[in-house]
Chains A and B, each alone.
Chain A
Amino acid sequence: MIGLDRISRREFFKNGLVFGAGAAGLAAGYAAVPDAFARAVYFGKKDGVTNDRVIVMIQLAGGNDGFSTVIPLQDAKLRDVRPSLAGQVATALPLDREFGFNASLKGLKALYDQGKVAVVQGVGYPQPSLSHFDGVRIWETADPLKRQQDGWLGRTIDKNYDSQGHPLVGCACGATAIPGALRDVRATLTVVNSARAFAFQGGADRDKVVGALYSGTPGIYGALFDTAVATARDTVAKLRTAASQYTPRASYNDNVRLAVSSKNQLAAALQLAAELIVTGLGPKVIHVTLGGFDTHERQAARQDSLLAYLDSAVSAFYQDLKAYGMSDRVLVATWSEFGRRPRENANQGTDHGTASPVLLVGDTLQGGLYGRAPSLSALDAGGNVKHTVDFRSVYQAILEDHLGVDAHEVLGQRFDKLAFVKSPAPKA
């Protein structure tokens, strides 16, 4: 679908070029650089947005409990409201005198000690919603007033990168549907559930047949169908090139014991993300999901096993990128629609709550604790904590400092500055 006419029409060469690894298989209009893993410098729509930074957002779906992720070690109130969970304090991995990681986060603790992990505590927004779907939408659109339709990552792509014909600029890995955070009416996005299954079966020309069937499709879904098929064909071609150039340099493992089995293969999704990054396919924004955090009952067993899974997959991802010399361009950040109620229910679980911490991993970070842990002594009327950091402050720092794009344009307003990025994106 990449035609020279379109590239020239869009003045492709004016602002930047794509340097792809072993670009033999890439379409005309790309320039190859000899170094097999040269930095992919993605085309930016704007001057200055020609850096090689990538953001990987990991959704912890269901509402991750903050108090069991970053555990307050000194707060006596925790034992009062959480008799069955307070045992986690004893096994916590101390980050400082006051806070410790859940014992399952061993890999992240090691990275924290190397200064590669930032933790922002108390992240939420005013008048919090306790609905999964409302909360997800608010975090996805970065708009608690719910006027915004497009996702914040989709808007980022639309306003800063040329996604047309380059569907991997924004990619959901390990999913079948476009996540709300990536959605944008003007951005082309790809969704790859499993890299192995992502190919047209039925003969060599099958993708062309399907492409022909979905050209100028009539009706209200026509454009949506046609875009999805064109994106799929484009992505298949690019993945075929990439697959031969990438061997994981860390051990990704989805065979984990979970209290409730997972719908998502997080390690495989992150391995695919690494493949896209190191083979120079030019991803800027990647979204993956790990579900199962809605721990209304038997929370400790469920959440600990999920956090161990997260820890192992993220650690492998970081080590893989590091082995490829690319960990200094990729930032990983978690998000969850809400935290959970401080007081546990009768089922050794917790109900829907409000603020919770965001974990960030990457070499561009100044590791450490940011924000302020929410107080257990000042709960709202529903028995939930009050947030101390607006989640859009986190987004703002990711956009402005890590990706080097105009955060105000994406978020619509300014938020308190968080300074967890120590190596801002280079300005062109």
Chain B
Amino acid sequence: MSRPTSLRGATGPAKPSRRKVLGVAATAFVGVAASRLLGLRGLDQRVAAASKRFGPGLAMMDAPESYDEAWAAELIGTPADPDPGAAPAATSAPGATSAPAATPPSGTTSASAAPPAPAAASAPGVAPRPPAPAPPAGSAVAPPAARVDRGAAAMPARGASLDWIAPLDKEAGRIAHLLRRTTFGATPEELDRALSDGYTKTVDRLLETPAVAPKALADAPSRSLPTLQQWWLDQMTTSPTPFAETMTLFWSGHFTSDYRKVGLQQPWIYWQNLSWRTMALRDLRSILKTVTIDPAMLRYLDLGISTGRAPNENYARELMELFTMGLGTYTEADVQAGAKALAGWRLPRANEAARTGIFDPGRAFSGTVTYLGKTGRFDTDGVIDQILAQDVTASHLVRTVLDSFLSPFPSSGLVSRLAGRFRASKYDVKALLRDVFMAPEFVAPEAYRALVKSPVELAVGAARALGQPLSRLAAASLAGMGQALFDPPTVAGWPAGPGLISSNTMIARANFAVAAVGQVRPLPSAANAHATALDGVLGPQTVALLNATADDRARWSVILSSPEFQLK
């Protein structure tokens, strides 16, 4: 597979000038703008959907500041490089053919003749760019489609309204996409292996390779929070089965517990992490049983101190509202009945070998209750069975999975299709994930960069890209980015998607990138990083700033702070 590199500073004979690269960026802009006019890009709908889903918060912004090469060079601290007459430039997606800027358009998304200046000029605030021949379609310097009218008349005229050109029509692009969402971004070795295996076999390997257990944390009870956080971050960065770590993180955001209430005097929160890793791909029935009697969970949501005589409703409510069925699908009477039926568990004592709660019939409720429409004597298994008998459970779990792995706004058709199969499989989570990764929607252009990397994914992804664990730095930085491990803000877990983006978190992300690059010695070459870390699908600003960099340090810093790297 050829991964052409054409940015300045990249290895290889062709060393284009910044001017040329900017030319390509402008070219791509004009070309894609034209294709947008032909109706080939649906950002309007995606934005409308996003706006509906995210509601508030999807704020618009001013037109970009204009800048030129000299300005970019000045920012980066490099003198402008004349470098005349270099070869034409085109950054490229893995697997995409590199084409010089002057190549006639090909493929479905190209315009046969690029409208010259007007297309660019129609985007207020974008600096006029030199007219240029139409770009190769699917070429990877991606920016742009035309402006989108964001709808509301009251909306200020802001926003870039360009869409990425998804490289998912290529196997290599699909594989990089898959690994970004399942392994914190592949290392070069993992990527090479997956490319030689192909997409389907890679999915099989992700799902069928048993999780490698993490290195045991000695003296777990006496560990401090940062030690615990670094221990897990080390696993995520270096585990031979990073998908198992992704799933452990996923379940930790869904079946939450926090160290503040659980405490660190007992090893419970550490056990929970081990337990979530082991259960990750099992069927939902056994997962829910594991979760319900997990010591940290018994402590966190108070089931461990609930009794049939005076039930504590905390776990019974969140089990339905957050963990399985979703709000509005049960009544307050169900919460109270569930609390009675679930009562009876207590935490293991230090001299007991069990790593689960202990059931004490004397604390349990012995009468009948009416729970989710059925009257009888329920125990914990009965409660779980009754939850699994509800139609809403499968679709609630499917939406949760899609939120992390596919898109925050899946079609209802996709949800019901996956939910039907999930239930038919007796809630086999592994089968569900296989369905998700093999779904055409997973590799549809709309899914490309449709998810924001969580702070943990960003930090671990950076460490893997730089080839060195950054766990200490990451553990110290994650709270500012909004995702302190073992310490979710609420029982609903960490925020996702737009909830991860604020002025505070963007500073924290940018600062993490600088600090990460500053402490890795030696830095790997960044010559090809735009292709390996960013798929070669770059916006014009990223291209301009990369081309103004003088060394690997500056280049990695731009790569890891770029909008492209924040997305998956």
Residues on A facing B (Cβ under 8 Å): 1, 6, 61, 130-134, 149-151, 154, 164, 167, 172, 175-178, 180, 183-194, 197-202, 205-206, 208-232, 235-236, 260-261, 263, 291, 294, 296-297, 345-347, 349, 351-352, 382
User: In the assembled complex, which residues on chain B have CB atoms less than 8 Å from the CB atom of A184?
Assistant: 56, 59
User: In the assembled complex, which residues on chain A have CB atoms less than 8 Å from the CB atom of B542?
Assistant: 213
Asked if B280 is at the interface (CB within 8 A of a chain A CB), the reply is: no
- One of B87-95, B98-106, B190-198, B500-508 contacting the partner: B500-508
- One of B246-254, B283-291, B524-532, B554-562 contacting the partner: B554-562
Distance in angstroms from A292 CB to nearest chain B CB is 8
Of the residues A210, A216, A297, contact of B540 by C-beta under 8 Å: A216
Distance in angstroms from B264 CB to nearest chain A CB is 11
User: In the assembled complex, which residues on chain A have CB atoms less than 8 Å from the CB atom of B125?
Assistant: 216
Of the residues B313, B322, B452, B541, contact of A213 by C-beta under 8 Å: B541
Within 8 A of A (CB), among B488-504: 489-492, 495, 498-504
Given A176-B479, A212-B72, A206 and B514 touching (CB < 8 A)?
A: yes
Given A131-B321, A198-B504, A206-B514, A227 and B61 touching (CB < 8 A)?
A: yes
Other 7 A-B pairs with CB < 8 A, given A201-B514, A212-B67, A219-B449: A185-B56, A197-B480, A209-B561, A223-B60, A223-B161, A345-B312, A346-B305
User: In the assembled complex, which residues on chain B have CB atoms less than 8 Å from the CB atom of A200?
Assistant: 507, 510-511
Asked if B51 is at the interface (CB within 8 A of a chain A CB), the reply is: yes
Inter-chain CA distance A352–B318, complex, in Å, is 12
How many interface contacts (CB-CB < 8 Å) are there between A and B?
273
- One of B150-158, B230-238, B414-422 contacting the partner: B150-158
Complex interface bits, B530-568 against A, C-beta within 8 A gives 1, otherwise 0: 000000000111101100000000000110011100110
Contacting pair B506 A229 (CB below 8 A): yes
Please tell me the number of chain B residues within 8 Å of chain A, measured between CB atoms.
99
Distance in angstroms from A372 CB to nearest chain B CB is 24
Contacting pair B58 A224 (CB below 8 A): yes
- One of B42-50, B213-221, B349-357 contacting the partner: B42-50
Contacting pair B126 A216 (CB below 8 A): yes
Inter-chain CA distance A291–B143, complex, in Å, is 42
Distance in angstroms from B141 CB to nearest chain A CB is 11
Contacting pair B60 A213 (CB below 8 A): no
Asked if B245 is at the interface (CB within 8 A of a chain A CB), the reply is: no
Inter-chain CA distance A205–B57, complex, in Å, is 28
Chain A residue with minimal CB distance to B481? A176
Distance in angstroms from B439 CB to nearest chain A CB is 19
Contacting pair A205 B75 (CB below 8 A): yes
- List 12 A-B pairs, Cβ < 8 Å: A133-B322, A133-B492, A175-B504, A185-B152, A191-B502, A193-B508, A201-B511, A215-B67, A220-B50, A224-B59, A235-B503, A296-B314
User: In the assembled complex, which residues on chain B have CB atoms less than 8 Å from the CB atom of A164?
Assistant: 62, 156
Contacting pair A351 B57 (CB below 8 A): no
Given A134-B327, A223-B159, A296-B314, A218 and B482 touching (CB < 8 A)?
A: no
Contacting pair B515 A222 (CB below 8 A): no
Contacting pair B161 A222 (CB below 8 A): yes
Contacting pair B57 A347 (CB below 8 A): no
Asked if B38 is at the interface (CB within 8 A of a chain A CB), the reply is: no
Chain A residue with minimal CB distance to B46? A220
Inter-chain CA distance A62–B144, complex, in Å, is 44
User: In the assembled complex, which residues on chain B have CB atoms less than 8 Å from the CB atom of A349?
Assistant: 302, 312
Within 8 A of A (CB), among B127-158: 142-145, 152, 154-156, 158
Of the residues A185, A197, A205, A296, contact of B77 by C-beta under 8 Å: A205
Distance in angstroms from B68 CB to nearest chain A CB is 11
Chain A residue with minimal CB distance to B562? A213
Contacting pair B302 A213 (CB below 8 A): no
Inter-chain CA distance A349–B567, complex, in Å, is 43
Contacting pair A352 B313 (CB below 8 A): yes
Inter-chain CA distance A228–B503, complex, in Å, is 4
Contacting pair A219 B65 (CB below 8 A): no
Interface centre among A1, A201, A218, A236 (most CB of B within 10 A): A218
Distance in angstroms from A379 CB to nearest chain B CB is 13
Per DSSP, chain A at the interface is loop
Chain A residue with minimal CB distance to B515? A201
Complex interface bits, B297-324 against A, C-beta within 8 A gives 1, otherwise 0: 0000010011101111110010001100
Given A212-B65, A212-B67, A346-B305, A225 and B506 touching (CB < 8 A)?
A: yes
User: In the assembled complex, which residues on chain A have CB atoms less than 8 Å from the CB atom of B142?
Assistant: 218
Inter-chain CA distance A383–B482, complex, in Å, is 37
User: In the assembled complex, which residues on chain A have CB atoms less than 8 Å from the CB atom of B481?
Assistant: 176
User: In the assembled complex, which residues on chain B have CB atoms less than 8 Å from the CB atom of A345?
Assistant: 306, 310-313
Chain B residue with minimal CB distance to A223? B159
Contacting pair A218 B260 (CB below 8 A): no
Of the residues B62, B510, B566, contact of A1 by C-beta under 8 Å: B62
Of the residues A132, A232, A294, contact of B503 by C-beta under 8 Å: A232
Asked if B40 is at the interface (CB within 8 A of a chain A CB), the reply is: no
User: In the assembled complex, which residues on chain A have CB atoms less than 8 Å from the CB atom of B332?
Assistant: 130, 382
Of the residues A213, A220, A260, A294, contact of B43 by C-beta under 8 Å: A220
User: In the assembled complex, which residues on chain A have CB atoms less than 8 Å from the CB atom of B163?
Assistant: 218-220
Inter-chain CA distance A282–B322, complex, in Å, is 39
Given A263-B260, A296-B314, A212 and B545 touching (CB < 8 A)?
A: yes
Distance in angstroms from B254 CB to nearest chain A CB is 14
Complex interface bits, B473-493 against A, C-beta within 8 A gives 1, otherwise 0: 000000111100001011110
User: In the assembled complex, which residues on chain A have CB atoms less than 8 Å from the CB atom of B502?
Assistant: 172, 175-178, 189-191, 228
Contacting pair A260 B261 (CB below 8 A): yes
Inter-chain CA distance A215–B540, complex, in Å, is 9
Interface centre among A201, A211, A212 (most CB of B within 10 A): A212
Contacting pair B58 A185 (CB below 8 A): yes
Contacting pair A227 B60 (CB below 8 A): yes
Inter-chain CA distance A274–B27, complex, in Å, is 50
Of the residues A172, A183, A202, contact of B511 by C-beta under 8 Å: A202
Of the residues B65, B154, B501, B508, contact of A221 by C-beta under 8 Å: B501
User: In the assembled complex, which residues on chain A have CB atoms less than 8 Å from the CB atom of B540?
Assistant: 216
Interface centre among A131, A202, A205, A224 (most CB of B within 10 A): A224
Inter-chain CA distance A215–B50, complex, in Å, is 20
Of the residues A132, A223, A260, contact of B59 by C-beta under 8 Å: A223
Contacting pair A297 B51 (CB below 8 A): no
Inter-chain CA distance A167–B507, complex, in Å, is 15
Contacting pair A222 B563 (CB below 8 A): yes
User: In the assembled complex, which residues on chain B have CB atoms less than 8 Å from the CB atom of A297?
Assistant: 302, 305, 312
Inter-chain CA distance A209–B561, complex, in Å, is 10
Inter-chain CA distance A382–B334, complex, in Å, is 11
User: In the assembled complex, which residues on chain A have CB atoms less than 8 Å from the CB atom of B313?
Assistant: 296, 345, 351-352
Inter-chain CA distance A199–B57, complex, in Å, is 22
Contacting pair B505 A177 (CB below 8 A): yes
List the 8 closest A-B pairs by CB distance, nearest first. A346-B310, A215-B64, A149-B55, A183-B56, A202-B514, A216-B64, A216-B160, A218-B162
User: In the assembled complex, which residues on chain A have CB atoms less than 8 Å from the CB atom of B514?
Assistant: 201-202, 206
Inter-chain CA distance A167–B542, complex, in Å, is 26
User: In the assembled complex, which residues on chain B have CB atoms less than 8 Å from the CB atom of A212?
Assistant: 65, 67, 72, 75, 541, 544-545
Contacting pair B302 A221 (CB below 8 A): no
Distance in angstroms from B448 CB to nearest chain A CB is 9
Of the residues A132, A150, A223, A382, contact of B160 by C-beta under 8 Å: A223
User: In the assembled complex, which residues on chain B have CB atoms less than 8 Å from the CB atom of A130?
Assistant: 317, 332, 335
